[in-house]
Amino acid sequence: MRVLGIETSCDESAAAIVEDSHRILANTVATQIDVHRRYGGVVPEVASRQHLQTIMPVVETALHLAGCGWDAIDGVAVTHGPGLAGSLLIGVNAAKALAFARRKPLVGLNHLESHIYANWLDTDTPTEPPAFPALCLVVSGGHTDLIVMEDHGRYRRLGRTVDDAAGEAFDKVARLLDLGFPGGPAIEKIAATVQRRELELPRAWLPGTFNFSFSGLKTAVLNLTREPEHPEAPEVAAAFQESVVDVLCAKTVRAARELEVRQILVAGGVAANGALRRELSARAPVPVRVPPPRYCTDNAAMVAACGYFHFRTGERSDFALDVEPSLAFAS
């Protein structure tokens, strides 16, 4: 089965064609980073206008790269939430129009669930598909969730952030340190230049829960930058990253032990972070899977992979499918 995936929940217009949940035939991402950079963050109106211009060319490119016509496509999967309303609207309407015109089944998907399915995509090293029960750490610009996945479509949330998402904290701290947008890669890069770090920043443990909190850490950085003799940006970036990674790892490792899961699946833009990837793999009691960085940040291959499992159960969305900017997941 070949699924065309479409993703426009934030600032990437993406289309991909994936066969049987894992074989990537095409994966096209038109990023808007350069457009939003001059504003220091994603501007929703600008994002939706960009999606409108790029989504159809991106779909055409994906079909071209996969070397397949519409006859070879078995279904269209699209992100319908959560995300920016105006951005989601472009992808959902494109998917509905294509599914209607080409008489293909349509399915609307949750963006967070799709992030998890990046772990099913083929990488350079052949591996078995993930084993259940799996513990999913979803760390993106808008979410930080710890979820148990019992099987396809069966999720239970253990914890979430009570304030900022991990990616949001990276972006805000990068802005405080004048490192530009997006903040995650900028912080990772500058933190890597620090040989010996003395600065320690706080960690919010929220004992007895699997919840996270990053706003206090962000405030600690803000207060530090206001001090007349504050440490250099690389030192602060390194201490900040260490603090986020330490808390994410500690909670994930404890949950993996207590719930006796077989694997840990990491997903979302922050999963591209090398320090998190290394430290979690080193500390975890079970194997850790993290998609290659290009499948951690927003893409449509993960949407197509997720769509495969939805289609397989016979699930379909009708043409009343609408955007759900605050769509919940695993609640």
User: Which two three-digit tokens encode residue 208?
Assistant: 């007895």
Our CB check for ligand KG4 shows the closer of 62 and 272 to be 272
**Out of 81, 182, 234, 291, the residue judged to bind ligand KG4 by CB under 6 A:** 182
Q: Applying CB under 5 A, does 110 fall inside the site for Zn ion?
A: no
Output the smallest distance, CB 185 to ligand KG4, in A. 5
Q: Applying CB under 6 A, does 167 fall inside the site for ligand KG4?
A: yes
**Out of 183, 234, 291, 307, the residue judged to bind ligand KG4 by CB under 6 A:** 183
Q: What Rg do the C-alpha atoms of the chain give, in angstroms?
A: 20
Our CB check for ligand KG4 shows the closer of 19 and 168 to be 168
Could you say which residues in the range 215-274 bind ligand KG4, by CB under 6 A? Answer: 268-270, 272-273
**Out of 32, 48, 243, 297, the residue judged to bind ligand KG4 by CB under 6 A:** 297
Output the smallest distance, CB 271 to Zn ion, in A. 10
CA distances to 12, 218, 265, 289 from 133, rounded to whole Å, are: 31, 34, 10, 13
Our CB check for Zn ion shows the closer of 144 and 211 to be 144
Residues 267 and 251: their CA atoms lie apart, in Å, by 15
Could you say which residues in the range 68-107 bind Zn ion, by CB under 5 A? Answer: none
3-state secondary structure 85-98: HHHHHHHHHHHHHH
End-to-end CA distance of the chain: 30
Which runs of E-coded beta strand occur in 115-161?
134-139, 144-151, 154-160
Residues 36 and 79: their CA atoms lie apart, in Å, by 21
- Total residues at the site for ligand KG4 (CB under 6 A)? 20
Decide the pairing of beta strands 288-289 and 144-151.
unpaired
Which entry of ligand KG4, Zn ion, none binds 261, CB below 5 to 8 A by partner kind?
Answer: none
Note whether 65 and 26 are within 8 A (CB).
yes
Output the smallest distance, CB 279 to ligand KG4, in A. 13
Could you say which residues in the range 123-162 bind Zn ion, by CB under 5 A? Answer: 140
Pick the closest to residue 78 from 306, 266, 268 (CA basis).
306
**Out of 141, 234, 291, 307, the residue judged to bind ligand KG4 by CB under 6 A:** 141
**Out of 145, 171, 279, 324, the residue judged to bind ligand KG4 by CB under 6 A:** 171
Residues 62 and 257: their CA atoms lie apart, in Å, by 41
Our CB check for Zn ion shows the closer of 140 and 144 to be 140
Residues 128 and 318: their CA atoms lie apart, in Å, by 34
Output the smallest distance, CB 9 to Zn ion, in A. 6
**Out of 117, 120, 170, 212, the residue judged to bind ligand KG4 by CB under 6 A:** 170
> Which residues touch 189 (CB under 8 Å, ≥6 apart)?
none
Q: Which stretch binds ligand KG4 (CB under 6 A): 136-144, 154-162, 221-229, 310-318?
A: 136-144
Cross-strand bridge partners of residue 93: none
Q: Applying CB under 5 A, does 317 fall inside the site for Zn ion?
A: no
Q: Which stretch binds ligand KG4 (CB under 6 A): 48-56, 84-92, 129-137, 140-148?
A: 140-148
- DSSP label of 192: T
Task: Tell the burial category of 126 from Cβ atoms under 10 Å away from its Cβ (0-12, 13-18, 19+).
Answer: exposed
Which residues are near Zn ion by CB under 5 A? 140, 298
Which residues are near ligand KG4 by CB under 6 A? 10, 140-142, 167-168, 170-171, 182-185, 188, 268-270, 272-273, 297-298
